[in-house]
Structure 1
Amino acid sequence: MEKRWVKASDCNAETVDTVAQQLNIDKTLAQILVQRNICDFDAAKDFFRPNLDHLHNPFLMKDMDLAINRIEKALSNHEKILIYGDYDVDGTTSVALAYSFFSQLTQNIEYYIPDRYLEGYGISTAGIDYANEHGFSLILALDCGIKSTDKIDYANGLNIDFIICDHHLPGDEIPKAIAVLDPKRADCEYPFKELAGCGIGFKLVQAYAQKHNLPKERYLQYLDLVMVSIAADIVPVVGENRILAYYGIRKLNTNPCEGLRALMEISGKTENYTITDVVFTLGPRINAAGRIDHAKHAVAMLLCEVDGNSLEQSVEINSKNTERKTYDQDITREALALIGDSEILINRKTTVVFNENWHKGVIGIVASRLTEKYYRPTIVLTKSNGHVAGSCRSVAGFDLYEALSGCAHLLDQFGGHKFAAGLTMQENNVNAFADKFEEIVSATITEEMLTPMIKIDAEVDLAQIDGKFYRVLAQMGPFGPENMAPLFVTHNVYLTQHAMAVGGNHLKLSIKQQNSSIFECIGFGLAEYQNLLQPKVPFSVCYTIEENIWRDKKRLQLNIKGIKVN
C-alpha cells in the first residue's frame, strides 16, 4: 500500500542553532530535539540523562494515602490479601511486581488472574466469589477495575474491600472502592497521566516503601518489569515513563529478574535489548500464556515459582507462543479470504469480520494484521462463553473509542482507548453493529486517515551520518510512542550493487551518495521494490538508523521504511 511521506514542520531556526551550539551537535539532531520541545540546555540535560530522583512523589496521586492506610491495616490484622490482575503483559507484570513486594511483608497473600475465556477482561464475579470462599478481605486490582462499578458493589456486599490501580479512562462513575488510583481520573492532580498499569503498581509499592523508610532497592528492583509493561502496552515513552523505561532497559540488559532472564534465554536473544526487542520478543511470549492457556503461568514464570526453575516455565510459555503463531496465521488467512470474497467488505471504510470458531486469544493480533493490510478501523469477532467477543484496532488519528461509544446501544460492554479496544455483544446484534460502526466511521474519518503515513523528522545527506551522529541519536532513546526513533529522508541515492530479496519478503541493498560512504540497508516487507531499483538510477529513501551487531562486530545500518524512485 502506497504511503504518504509527511515531513515534520520547520522549527525556529534560531532555537535550533542555539541548541546545536550549546550541545555541540549536528544541526539536524538539534532540529529533532526542538521538534520534541527540548529547546535549551537544561531540557536537553533532563532528556539525555534521565534521573530516578525526578520520579514524582507517589502521594500526589489521589487516594494513595487511603490505599497505603488500608494495606497497613490488612498487614497489621493479618488479613488475607488477593493480588488481582489482567491476563495481558501489563496485567501479569503488575501482579508479579505487587505480589513479589507484598509477599515479603505477609504470608497471607495470593494472586489471581481471570481466565480469558471463562471470565473475560477485568474484575469478574468468579474472582470475587473465589476471594469470598477463601477468606480474602482485601483485593488489590491492577490494570483493571476503573469501570467495574457493579463488581465493586457486589464485593462491598460481601465485606470485601478493593483497592483499584488502573490506567484506563474512567466511566461516568468512579467505583466505590476503598481507593481508586488512576491518574486519568478528572479529580486526580498527579502530574503524569500516561503510566501503564504496572506503573501504577510501581507507584503503590514506592509509596509504601517511602512511608516506611525502606531502601529504594526494594522497589527499584522491579524496573525491568515496569519497562516490559511500558513497551508491551504501547504507552507514551515520555516524562515519567521514559525515566522508568530508561532504567528498566538498563536493568534488563545487566541484571534482569530470573523470570525475564529465562525468557530471554529461550527466545535466543540475551543482550542489547531495546524497547522494540521487548515488544516483539518478550511481550508476545508473556502474552501467549493467557492467549492459549492461562496467564497465571506467566506470573509464575516471572516469580520463578516452579521449584525455582524459571527456565522450565519459560520453555512451556515459549511453546504456547509457537502454538499462538499457528492460530494467528490460520485465522489471518481465513479473515483475508472472507474480506476478499466480499465486495461489500472491500468497499467499506471499516472492517468487521466474524467467525464463531476463531480462537479468542489471537483475534487482537489478527485485527492488527488486517489493519496493517487494509488500513482502516478493524474489528475481529468470535463466539466466546455464550456471547460474541471482539478485538478492535484503529488507524492513526481516528478515535476508535469514540466511534464505539456511538454503538453502545448494540453492545453489552466495551472498553479501551483511541487506538485499541475490546467489546462483547449478543450474536443477533452483529450485523446491526457492523452497519452502525460503518455509518459512524464513514461520517467522521477523513481520506487522509485512511492512507498510512510516514512522518519524516528530517532530511539528511548520508555524509552526515557518522559515529558521533549515531551516538547522540542513540541517547535519544528509549524510543516509543511520542518519542519515536527519528525517521530521516535522503534523496538521490544510488545502488552500489543489485538489491536482493531475502527472507521471502524483505529487501537487502547497499546505497551511497556521491560524497558518502556505502551504507548497508534492510527493508522489511519491501521486496516488491527489488526490480524497481536499478544501478545508476537515483531514488529516495526514508529510514531509521540502527547499529547492527553481528559476531561482536558493530556497524551502522539503515532500516528502510519507504522508497520512492525519482
Structure 2
Amino acid sequence: MEKWFIKNSNDPGIDYKKLGINNVVYKILINRNIDTEEKIKSFLEPDLSNLNSPILLKDMVKASNYILNCISKEKKIRIIGDYDVDGVTSTYILYKGLKRINGHVSYDIPHRVQDGYGINNHLIDKAAADDIDLIITCDNGIAARDAIEYANSLNIDVIVTDHHEVPKIENSGVVEDLIPNAKAVIDPKQKECNYPFQEICGAVVALKLIEYLYLIRGVEKDEFYETFLPYAAIATICDVMPIIDENRIIVSAGIEYLKKSKDVGLIALFEACDINPDKLDVYHLGFIIGPTINSSGRLESAKKAIALLLEEDYSEAIKMAKELRTLNSERQNLTNEAFEQIDEKIIDEDILNKHNVLVLYKEGLNESILGIVAGKIKEKYYRPVAVLSDSNGILKGSGRSIEEYDMFIEFSKSKHLLKSFGGHKMACGLSLERENLEKFIEDIDSKENLTKEDLIKKIYIDGQLSLKYISMQLAKNIESLAPFGNGNSAPKFGAKNLNIISLKVLGKNKNFIKMTLQENNVNFTATLFEDGNSFLNKLAKYYGKNAVLELLNGRPSNILIDIVFNLEINEYLGNSSIQLKIKNYRITGEKYAR
C-alpha cells in the first residue's frame, strides 16, 4: 500500500524567467530546497571551481605532512580499503595518487567472509610481515579503535580516511566522539570537523587527500581531475550519496571525464557491460558498472576489481572484465534465490503481522548478498529489514531501512547483544551469536515506535501534469537538471484518468509493458517494468477479463489508470520521442487508492 502526495514547497518569489527557466523547472527546484537565485545558478551550472577545499577537512594538513615525510624517507605505505565499490575506488585513488608522487605503496582489501568489514588484526599482521611503516585506511577505520591500537603496538602508524558515522560515548550526560588513536583521522562526520558538506563518500575523502598532496607537490589540476574524478563519481553514485552540493559537481564532471576516459580497465569494463561511453549516465554506473565491480568483493576477492582498474594491457583487461560480468550473473542468481526463500518465510510465518522491524534469519544463504536481499525485501514491504545467515559459527547480516527509522541509532540501542555493528541511518552491518538472535529481535521490537502511518510508502510528486502540456522542450528542460539520483531524483509527475488505448507485454521474462495512454485526444507511449500477468490481472479485477482481452487484441478499451511518471527522451534510429516512464500506478477505481 502507498500514498501519493504532491510536494508544495513555499514559493520564495524568485523571478525565475530571468534565470532562463520555466515554471515547471522552477517548481522542481523549489521542491528540492534550491530556493535562492544563487543556489539555482549553482545547481544549473555545476562548476569544479565550487568544490570545497580539502584543507577544510580536520587533520588534512597533519595527515598530508606525515605522508610526505614517509615518502621522503622511502617508508613503506599500505592502503587498506573495503570490498564494495566505494572501498575499491577509494583504494584505487589513494594507490594511484601516492604512486604518482613516488610513494612506496601497496594495497590490501579484506575478504568479505574471511575478514569481514574494514581493517583488522589479520590484515595488520600481514602488514607487519611485509615491514609496513604506515597504514592508510579508506572507506573504513573510524570504528576500528581496537585494531588501530593493535597496529600501534606493532609500531605501525595508521592514518584513517573514512566517511562513516563516528562511534559515540556518553560521559556525564555529554555525548562525545570516540576517535581511534591514529596519527590522523580524516572523516567529515567528526564533531570537530568543520567541512561544509558531510555527505561525501569514502572515495571523495580519498580524493581530497590526493588533491591536497598534489597541490603541495605541484601536480597540475587538469591531470588530477582527469585521473580521479571518474572514480569518485562512480563511488558517489554506487554508495547512494545524495547528488547535491559538491556531489552534484563531482558526478556531473566525473561522468564527462568517464565518457572520454583512456583508462584501459574502464574501457574494458564498458565493453564487457555493452555500454556506449557516449551514452553513459547515472543508471549505467549505479545498476551495471557498480554491481559488476561489487561482484568480485561479494563472491571472490575485491582485489580482482582493483587489478582490472589498474590493468594497462587491453587483452588482459577484457578477460578480467568479462570474468566480473560472469560473477555478477552468478550473484544475481544467488540474490533471486535468497529473496524467494526469505519472502516465503515472511509469508509462511506471518511475520508482517508480528513485527514492524523485520529481522530475518535463514540458514545457508551466501552472506555476500544479504544486503541486496534486505534492500529488495524493504522495497516490497516498506519495513526496516535485517537479513542474517551463518558465517564461521556466528550470524552475520546486513540491514536496510526506511526514512522513518534511523537504523544506526535504533539498532545501537540493542548493541549489547551484538558482536559487531556499524553503519548509518539507512543501512548497517551486524553480527551476533546464534543464541542472542531471539533476544535481539525482542529488544528491537520493544524499543521501536513505528506507527501504521510510518509503514505506508509515501510517493512524493513534483506536480500534476496533463498530457497536453508535455513537449520535447519541457523534456529537455527537465534533462538539464540531471544527473539524477539520491537527493536529486528524476522529477515525478502525476496524471489521472488516462485511457489505455493499446497495450503489449514484451521481454523474455514478460515483464516489460508498453502501452499508449490518452487524455483528451492527446496520446503518449508509456513503459512499465512489472510482471505482465500480474498487471493484466489487476486490470481484469476492476474492468473484467473481456475488457483486457479486447485491449490485448488491439481494440479500444474503457480502462483508466492513474500514474506517477518520469519524462524520458527516447532516441531510436536518429529520431527522438517522448516516453512516460511509469514509476507507480493505480487502476482508476481501486478502492484503496481513493
How big is the shift at 1:412?
Answer: 0.9
Aligned pairs for 1:327-366 within 5 A: 327-344=334-351, 346-366=353-373
How big is the shift at 1:88?
Answer: 0.3
Aligned-residue CA RMSD in angstroms? Answer: 1.9
In the superposition, the TM-score normalised over structure 1's length comes to: 0.95
Query: Is residue 121 of structure 2 the alignment partner of residue 130 of structure 1?
Result: no
How big is the shift at 1:119?
Answer: 0.8
Aligned to 2:296: 289
Please say which of residues 254-263 and 96-105 is displaced more in the overlay: 254-263
CA distance in 1, matches of 2:138, 2:262: 22
CA distance in 2, matches of 1:54, 1:343: 52
Q: Is the 8 A contact 1:261 1:270 kept in 2?
A: no
Q: Is the 8 A contact 2:137 2:160 kept in 1?
A: yes
The one-letter amino acid paired with 2:150 is Y
| Residue from 473, 490, 506 that aligns with 1:468 | 473
The one-letter amino acid paired with 1:417 is H
Please say which of residues 245-254 and 268-277 is displaced more in the overlay: 268-277
CA distance in 2, matches of 1:213, 1:309: 33
Other structure's SS at 1:222 match:
helix
How big is the shift at 1:553?
Answer: 3.5
Change (3 A) 1:337 1:565: closer
CA distance in 2, matches of 1:322, 1:156: 42
How big is the shift at 1:346?
Answer: 4.9
Q: Is the 8 A contact 1:209 1:218 kept in 2?
A: no
| Residue from 112, 135, 138 that aligns with 1:142 | 138
CA distance in 1, matches of 2:577, 2:263: 30
| Residue from 395, 407, 422 that aligns with 1:400 | 407
| Residue from 480, 483, 489 that aligns with 1:478 | 483
Please say which of residues 410-419 and 41-50 is displaced more in the overlay: 41-50
Aligned to 1:184: 189
Aligned to 1:70: 66
Change (3 A) 1:247 1:205: same
Query: Is residue 231 of structure 2 the alignment partner of residue 225 of structure 1?
Result: yes
How big is the shift at 1:275?
Answer: 1.3
How big is the shift at 1:306?
Answer: 6.9
The one-letter amino acid paired with 2:147 is K
The one-letter amino acid paired with 1:565 is I
Aligned to 1:241: 247
Query: Is residue 57 of structure 2 the alignment partner of residue 61 of structure 1?
Result: yes
The one-letter amino acid paired with 2:216 is K
Q: Is the 8 A contact 2:77 2:103 kept in 1?
A: no
How big is the shift at 1:212?
Answer: 2.1
Query: Is residue 31 of structure 2 the alignment partner of residue 35 of structure 1?
Result: yes
- Alignment deviations for residues 138-166 of structure 1 (CA, whole Å, 9 cap, x no partner): 11110000011111111111111111110
Q: Is the 8 A contact 2:503 2:513 kept in 1?
A: no
CA distance in 1, matches of 2:586, 2:413: 40
Other structure's SS at 1:300 match:
helix
Aligned pairs for 1:81-480 within 5 A: 81-106=77-102, 108-172=104-168, 173-220=178-225, 221-255=227-261, 257-271=263-277, 272-304=279-311, 309-344=316-351, 346-441=353-448, 444-480=449-485
Please say which of residues 551-560 and 147-156 is displaced more in the overlay: 551-560
Aligned length: 559
The one-letter amino acid paired with 2:457 is P
CA distance in 1, matches of 2:515, 2:8: 30
CA distance in 2, matches of 1:387, 1:187: 36
How big is the shift at 1:258?
Answer: 2.3
- Alignment deviations for residues 79-123 of structure 1 (CA, whole Å, 9 cap, x no partner): 011011000000001111111111123362111001111110011
CA distance in 2, matches of 1:138, 1:307: 33
CA distance in 2, matches of 1:336, 1:222: 41
Please say which of residues 261-270 and 64-73 is displaced more in the overlay: 261-270
Q: Is the 8 A contact 2:264 2:314 kept in 1?
A: no
The one-letter amino acid paired with 2:329 is T
Q: Is the 8 A contact 1:168 1:416 kept in 2?
A: yes
In the superposition, the TM-score normalised over structure 2's length comes to: 0.90
Other structure's SS at 1:72 match:
helix
Query: Is residue 490 of structure 2 the alignment partner of residue 494 of structure 1?
Result: no
- Alignment deviations for residues 244-299 of structure 1 (CA, whole Å, 9 cap, x no partner): 00011112223263222211111112231221221111111111001100000011
The one-letter amino acid paired with 2:568 is E
CA distance in 2, matches of 1:211, 1:105: 10
CA distance in 2, matches of 1:342, 1:40: 52
Please say which of residues 57-66 and 24-33 is displaced more in the overlay: 24-33
How big is the shift at 1:10?
Answer: 4.1
Q: Is the 8 A contact 2:71 2:103 kept in 1?
A: no
CA distance in 2, matches of 1:105, 1:150: 31
Give % identity. 33
The one-letter amino acid paired with 2:154 is L
CA distance in 1, matches of 2:42, 2:53: 18
Other structure's SS at 1:477 match:
coil
CA distance in 1, matches of 2:73, 2:503: 73
Q: Is the 8 A contact 1:223 1:247 kept in 2?
A: yes
How big is the shift at 1:59?
Answer: 0.6
Gaps of 5+ in 1: none
The one-letter amino acid paired with 2:11 is N
